[in-house]
Every structure is written in structure tokens, then in C-alpha cells.
Amino acid sequence: MARSLIGGLVAQGRAVDSLHVAEPYAEMREALARDFGVPVHADNRDAARDAGTWVFAVKPQVLKNVCEDLAELAQQTRPVIVSIAAGITSDQIERWLGGGIAVVRCMPNTPALLGAGATGLFANAHVSPTQREQAQSLLASTGITVWIDDEASMDAVTALSGSGPAYVFLLAEAMEAAGIAQGLPAESARALALQTVFGAARMLVESGEPAAVLRQRVTSPGGTTQAALDTFAAGGFRELVDAAIANATQRGRELSAAND
């Protein structure tokens, strides 16, 4: 996710020397510097020292240690924190940093690398209107942003859009395999599956029509599409999607409790 965010910012014209990146592994530091031209640091404090906005793009399991290591500097400089760690609440981050810190919790997704991301954001009570705009500007450069008023809903954002690209990739993977099973050459099956997903996504975004309306328009009674959709329904497709997103939402809550 960090690479996606950095790549999206650079692609949108953000000055590379304004993006100081901390990465503990030398090989990955070198790759970030080579691929994006950003200044890189082995120590978090070196990257954060002169920055007014700190982006925590780390695994939930290590965020507490990262915050506690930066707490003294945070109390001195009072940055706005932008966290993309799944399941970790703004209260936890603020407490680990010593209290009284502006925290924007957000969940982007990997299409941010292409400027096509979707990000949900929540701001705690310490975030000023100016800091809110700064955080939104940061994430808006990589796609759309949606503010969430109730932080409890951020786990659902993670489950829906944060993890969502993997669901689409799985569908494309399954469609490609099914095409091959029906006798299509592998190269043809892949090209047709990927372009179908891409074209359908564009129609959803650009037509302005609800997904249900577009689905109905391409479904002739008794036709091939109806036969496929009936099979999905018989297999409990909607119920399976609902259960998958519910389980991902619950996992986000568990991450918060496990890492407090």
C-alpha cells in the first residue's frame, strides 16, 4: 500500500523531495529511491523530523511500536497523523503518541497506484479544518475520497473497498479459468476476461446508472446471461459476498483489540 500511495502522489505531480520515506529494509529502501526518486531513511525519526504530516503505512501489528518510538517527537512538533493501518483506531494512535494529536484514519486501496483508488477517511476531534483539507488533498491525488462520520464504520470501509480489489481479481481469475475450461485458448480467455471486467467497471462509473439497472439491461429473459445469473443465485452468490465482507469487517475489529 505504501508503494501505491507514493506512486499515486508522484504520478499526480507531488514533488518527490517533499516525500520522505522511512523503510527499515535496505533492499526496499533502495527500490523506493530507484523507482520513485523519493528521499529514503532507515530511521522513522529522520523521515518525520521536519514533516507536518506523517503517514503511517505500516502493518497493524507494528504500529504501536512505531508510535511509541515517535511519541516524543510528535509531542514536540504536533503533526497531523494519517494512518492506513487496518483496524487500529484513532484513539489508540493518539494514546500511543502521548495524547492530544490530530489523527486521520483512512483506508485506501491498491488502485491508488493508477490514480484510481478509493479511500474512506475519519478525523478525530483534534483535526483542524486545515488539517482535514491537507489529509484529503493527500489521498485525493490517488483517487476518490469519502469522509466517514462514525469511526466504527471504518472497518466496513476496509472490508468493502480496502480489500475489494482482491475480490475483483478473484472474479477475473475465475472467469479466465472457466473460459479455458470451455475450450478457449488461455491467452484469449485472459484477454476477454480482463477487458470485460475493465469495460463493466467503466460503465458503472461513467454511466451514472445503478449496478442493478445495468445488470437488468444486459439480461434477456431465457438468454445466456440469465442462465449464468440463475446459477449464481442458486449458489448463494449475494449471501456469500455479504458473509465475506462481514468477516473482513470483523477481522478489522479483531486487529484493533489484538494490537492495543
The 10s digit of each residue's pLDDT in 31-50 is: 999 999 999 999 999 999 99
Cell of 107: 483506508
Q: Which of 133-137, 169-173, 174-178, 218-222 has the lowest mean pLDDT?
A: 133-137
The residues, any chain, with a CB within 8 Å of residue 161's CB and separated by 6 or more, are 107, 109, 118, 119, 120
pLDDT digits (tens, 9 = 90+) for 57-87: 998 899 999 999 999 999 999 999 999 988 8
pTM for the predicted model, two decimal places: 0.84
pLDDT digits (tens, 9 = 90+) for 92-112: 999 999 999 999 999 989 898
pLDDT digits (tens, 9 = 90+) for 156-166: 999 999 999 99
* Averaged pLDDT, 11-37: 92
Q: Which residue has the cell 491537507?
A: 134
Q: Are 70 and 48 in contact (CB under 8 A)?
A: yes
Query: For a pLDDT cut of 90, what percent of the chain falls above it?
Result: 80
Cell of 212: 442493478
Q: Are 9 and 116 in contact (CB under 8 A)?
A: no
Confidence of residue 197 (pLDDT cuts 50, 70, 90): very high
Confidence of residue 13 (pLDDT cuts 50, 70, 90): confident
**What is the pLDDT at residue 137?**
87
- Per DSSP bridges, beta strands 21-22 and 40-41 are parallel
**What is the pLDDT at residue 215?**
97
**170 half-sphere exposure, CB direction, 13 A CA radius:** 7
Q: Are 7 and 36 in contact (CB under 8 A)?
A: yes
**What is the pLDDT at residue 125?**
96
DSSP 128: -
**What is the pLDDT at residue 6?**
87
Round to whole Å and give the CA distance between 159 and 86.
10
**What is the pLDDT at residue 114?**
84
**What is the pLDDT at residue 110?**
87
Domains of the chain with bracketed CATH? 2-161 (3.40.50.720), 164-255 (1.10.3730.10)
Neighbour-count burial of 136, counting CB atoms closer than 10 A to its CB (0-12 exposed, 13-18 middle, 19+ buried): middle
Round to whole Å and give the CA distance between 124 and 198.
36
Cell of 161: 473497498
Round to whole Å and give the CA distance between 228 and 177.
15
* pLDDT at 223 > cutoff 80: yes
pLDDT digits (tens, 9 = 90+) for 122-140: 999 999 999 999 999 888 8
Round to whole Å and give the CA distance between 104 and 9.
18
Which one, of 31, 103, 33, 107, lies nearest residue 70 by Cα?
103
User: How far, CA to CA in Å, does 216 sit from each of 51, 196, 207?
Assistant: 51, 17, 14
Confidence of residue 258 (pLDDT cuts 50, 70, 90): confident
**What is the pLDDT at residue 241?**
97
Round to whole Å and give the CA distance between 154 and 94.
17
* pLDDT at 225 > cutoff 90: yes
* pLDDT at 151 > cutoff 90: yes
Q: Which residue has the cell 490514480?
A: 115
